[in-house]
A and B are shown apart, each in its own frame.
Chain A
Amino acid sequence: MRRVVITGLGVVSALGTNAAGNWDSLAAARSGIAPITLFPNDALTAKVAAEVKGYNTLDHFPEKQSAFMDRFAQFAVVAAREAVGHSGIAFDGQLKSRTAVVVGSGVGGITTLDENFERLYKNGLRVHPFCIPRFMANAGASHVSMALGITGPSFTVASACASANHALGVALQMLRAGAVDVALSGGSEATITFGTMKGWEALRVMAPDACRPFSAGRRGMVLGEGAGIFVLETLEHAKARGAAILAELMAVGMSSDAGDLTLPNLEGPTAAMRAALAEAAMAPEAIDYINAHGTGTIANDATETKAIHAVFGGHARAVPVSSTKSAHGHGLGAAGAIELAATLLAMKHGVVPATLNYVEPDPACDLNLVVNQPREARIDAAMSNSFAFGGLNAVVIVRRFAG
């Protein structure tokens, strides 16, 4: 079976619009969560979010191009450009058609839809002609393919909060199967709109102040946005061009709860983590860090803790666990990608990023949690969890490349 490696990383989140910015914030235990500025937040119960700050469209795209691009598609392209630059790969000749773009998005261009339909319903005005092409869920993948001239298979994978991890899983399978030699994969999302926030508010799972995963007194999740894109290559291809290898993508274990639409169960996440370990042919003890799904809701964090105990046995109390959602918010379809970026950067720097805003232990979350301050640790292999609404789970394992 072909081995698959990661040779480029690009990330946009509330922690920064590139990898360096994201890592600086994670290493300094800085949170990107703040009062919402994208629209007036007076009518919201939960008035905070993890917005991508200081983002100016025209810094990244000429107006003629950005007019066609929703915020989520822009984030995808910004991250993809960084990943490609980082990997040093050039898409010329045959490689264009031997490269795939598989980008997760749970929602698509909801900012565009929200703006257009607000005008339509309030004033009976017409809808802008770019509304549909900006809104479509595949716009992120399409703009990445267009921006980089990639002509191989390109599409979007949607599974709410697990979209990015599922996308990485599909790209991994395509590379292993020999369908392509290179894939740009990850996730992209931008859903901090008034309508979306009211929708989350109605579900009553939003924290009004801060995201404090696994902590006693946690109040729920905080919405984030952004993108993470990775250059994946077959090992053979990466070696042939002398690429620097960040890590090997060992596995993406997947499962479905087939249970409640929103309430997590124990079996689904357990099965996905076990599937990932089996696919990677690794023992639980080989995992040095878990970047948890850790949304900060009562239900997720307690259930995820139980699932980690079920899968890791005695190692569950030893392996460092953190949820970086406490810093960059819940990026939904981008979450797995922003978190894989955090995981790869943690591996590179030998530092486990912290779960911020932690107040005190919750007996239901009895793990070796890295809280409030990052912790130095050598990470040779790491797991990154995503468990979506709809009961769809996808768990990524990466390992330091050792030849």
Chain B
Amino acid sequence: MRMAKQNGCKFVLVDPQYTDSASAYDAWWIPIRPNTDAAMMAGMAHYIFTSNLQDQNFINKFVQGMDAGTMPDWAKDKENFKDYILGKYDNTPKSPEWAAEICGVSADDIKKLAQLYATTKPAALKASWAPGRNAYGEQYNRMAAALQSMTGNIGILGGCAEGIGKAWHAEGVAYPYDEFANVFYESIKSDRWAHCVLNYPNVKREEIGLWPGGKAGDGVIPNIRGIFWQGSDWFNQLTNINKEIQAINKLDLVVCNDSTITPSGLYADVLFPIATHFERHDVALPWYKGHYYIHRPKVIEPLGESKTDLQIYTELAYRLGGDQFGKRYNPKANRDYFLYNDAVDNAYLQEWWEHKVMAHQHVDMSWAEFQKYGIYKFKLDRPHVAFQDNVEKGVPWPTASGKIEIFSGQLAQYDDWTKTAYGYEIPAIPKWIEPFEYLGDKEKTAKHPFHLISPHPRHRTHSIFNNIGWLRETYEQEVTINAADAKKLGIKTGDTVEVFNDRGKVVVPAYVTERCMPGVLVIYEGAWLDLDENGIDRSGNPDMLTLDEPSPAGSFAYNTVLASIQKTDLAHKPGWDRLATARSHVFRRDL
């Protein structure tokens, strides 16, 4: 990106915050009200259609349902995207002026950006994930796909077909997919577990996103009595923590696997100490499909009583199901795997490397060499561009119609949404749908006038590493608030404030800045919960305030939150110890 900037690439950031990326890439910052991105993009689409700037050739060739001419024969009477945008169905053209009212971006800026995006070839619309983690967030992602395809920016170098590139597919799991790996296919949306526990049996399947697997038991509301946690920290990560606390007190058994004690671990009946990745043998695949593998040798023996997850599961398999079950669960292991796992782990990894990585991905480096060298990086003969073959060679898209489905044939054919994984209706074409709560909601903003967003922090990974002093020193949990808003409330940088709504309350220091849109509050997710006797979180975990109602397509509505803010006498507890030197306390320079 830095080199792109040096070569003259122009950046635009649409975000409630002027981020450090915006400053580093000298971006044109367009502040937008949270959860209204789909409306802004509809306004852009309106400008592109009415100015006739769309790539009609690309649309006719590759896209289904962009306009009347590209609708499938069986659906000629259904709504198409262009006519929706032009207001044919509801007499409301989705014009830039219409969008400006909703998203707080001026119509002129929407037109200017639409003109820039439609006439710059190629142009990459990076529809990142946070705006999708909202009520009806799927409409934002689909609206972005509509813009990308109407401008022909898919399948070409420099374009972008989605938020984050997914061009390279690593070979996944090395450890055994045994014959019992998945014998139960029913699942629910994970942020609805508390709702399910608290309301059982008066729960409808659509309320919990009960996944229809087409198997016996399909659609039966689960009576959840116990939870086995592995590799996650729900009390830092899932929505509406107060509801989770209520629910967990109703359970009979909670088991937690983790390498450190976490807020979730505090609620567990059984806590298994798990070996860290320094204490077991593995291969790391880059998150989000980078084109390399990293060897992860066992650097030290597991500390204390720690065991790997697989050691614990194998031992459980032997104890629950006897020798036969244990052997079939982990075929390369013997009964003593709980004590001696090195040779077995190596055998699995070696088999995976030789029979999957080497065989499928034309890797010529042997397992022994790879271990010695530590990293294998694929040399790509050309840049990986998603959907290049579809556009250049006419390979059909992996959809039912073989085209980019702006009009989704699948969604159009559902008649009973409660029997789908979504539970609630999703329109067949991308549309702006008013979120559960947002700044445009006059009634709800009268009570809680601020929109709270909770982006990913850069000084920890979700909640992981919040216990690392070095990282906590680089940043303190804080709420970011616009300077004009803060002035009205008498809040200054460093003041301790409470941020609250009907779901919960947190106590954090304030960071007052001009870099945040008025009406918006920002608290980074993943702070380690620290409840006082009144159930107020002193650490500042924004999930105390989030809504546990997922969007129909399944995304959690982390960023669909209205809240209030005021000064407080309560003390903030930055973590389970005091290590931070807050950015707000130390690094400010008033110019």
**Same assembly:** no
Which A residues fall within an 8 A CB radius of B?
Answer: none
Which B residues fall within an 8 A CB radius of A?
Answer: none
